[in-house]
Amino acid sequence: MKKILTIIIASVCISAAAAAQTLPSLLVNSDPKAMGAAGMSLLGSDAFSLQGYAASAALMDATAAAGVSYGIWQPAAASDKVLGASAAVKLAGKFSIALDYKNFMQPEYELMSPNGSSNRVTPVFKPGESSYALGLGFAFVPGLSAAVTVRSTGSKLSPDAKASAFGVDVSAMFSKDKLKAALAGGQVKYGEKAYAQPMLVKAGAAFNIVEGLKTGAEFSYLFEGVFNAAAGVEYSYKGIVAARAGYHFGDKAKGVPSFVSLGLGAGFKGVQLNAAYLLASETLAGSMLFGLSYAF
């Protein structure tokens, strides 16, 4: 089986610094296939192209793909919920359109009045974040594509603390010795304070060792001094069943945890069921993500 080298360099729209803990949903991949391999988008699915690299949609084997996912994030610390929905379609064999929606739901809390008593008018508040993305791609020649993604994200931390952000990702991908690059920037505003969105650059490589067996590594640097790395492996038997595992190295001092991931998948006639489970982390242990997708 011919080995295929995949190299990716990317920059994506990321929020107000990981350390600031604003818009954490942008750092959470809602693709269960990718999360089973420590969040490596190189081993992700076509349906969730915008969760990784939008340019991949123009080079996917399928004509169209769509998927939904649901997960429990850091159950021991916060028990957040993640809901995702994505789709990608190729047009005329060269163009691609990809859509992505993600809702990051945090536990509700009781509102207090200035004197410390409960607010009886609005007793509880449910914070959360949501993001919408649209990606347009084009394959210049077989194996070479580019895409532009526009992304809008909103956050509600309290009735008086809300934020919104707008970002643009630009990516390119070469299907053999695959190269993908992206740039993004933006700003998040909370009340009277404004936080710049730092840029995130990622680089990675993946190999098809033998038929059905893939492995790879990915590195990223957030321009707030945060370095991340991930390594993952996937074994698939004729596209029917798959097993995945990975390790993600984060920067604990910057609030980005390390973790180990395990994943399982099953597929039949374009339908895929995937699941991911995280462990070996104080904050993320027990996190789970499940997804259903279809491609044709």
Give the pLDDT mean for 286-294.
97
DSSP state of 143: T
Give the pLDDT mean for 111-131.
66
CA 69/CA 2 separation, integer angstroms: 33
CA-derived radius of gyration, the chain: 19
Reported as a pLDDT band with limits 50, 70 and 90, residue 112 is low
CA 129/CA 68 separation, integer angstroms: 17
CA 58/CA 36 separation, integer angstroms: 24
Please tell me the chain's helix, strand, coil percentages from 3-state DSSP, rounded to the nearest 5: 10, 60, 30
- Pick the more confident residue, 253 or 146: 146
Give the pLDDT mean for 149-160.
80
pLDDT in tens, 1-57: 333 333 333 333 333 233 234 456 667 889 999 999 998 887 777 899 888 778 888
Q: Which residue's structure tokens are 């998948």?
A: 265
Q: Is the pLDDT of residue 194 over 80?
A: no
Q: What is the maximal distance between C-alpha atoms in the chain?
A: 70
Local structure of 50: helix, strand or coil: helix
Number of separate helices (H) and strands (E) present in the chain: 1, 18
93 in any annotated domain: yes
CB 170 within 8 A of CB 138: no
1 in any annotated domain: no
**Tally of structural domains, the chain:** 1
51 in any annotated domain: yes
137 in any annotated domain: yes
Structural domain containing residue 166:
6-295
96 CB burial (10 A radius; 0-12, 13-18, 19+): buried
Mean pLDDT of the chain: 79
CA nearest neighbour of 248 among 224, 215, 278: 278
CA 204/CA 26 separation, integer angstroms: 19
CATH of residue 218: 2.40.160.60
Give the pLDDT mean for 205-216.
83
- The H or E element containing residue 92 is none
Q: What is the 3-state secondary structure (H, E, C) of 53-73?
A: CHHHHHHCCCCEEEEEEEEEE
- The H or E element containing residue 32 is helix 32-35
User: In degrees rounded to 5, what are phi and psi of residue 82?
Assistant: -125, 125
Give the pLDDT mean for 281-296.
94
Percent of the chain scoring above 70 in pLDDT: 79
DSSP state of 35: H
pLDDT in tens, 71-103: 999 898 778 899 999 999 999 989 999 999 999
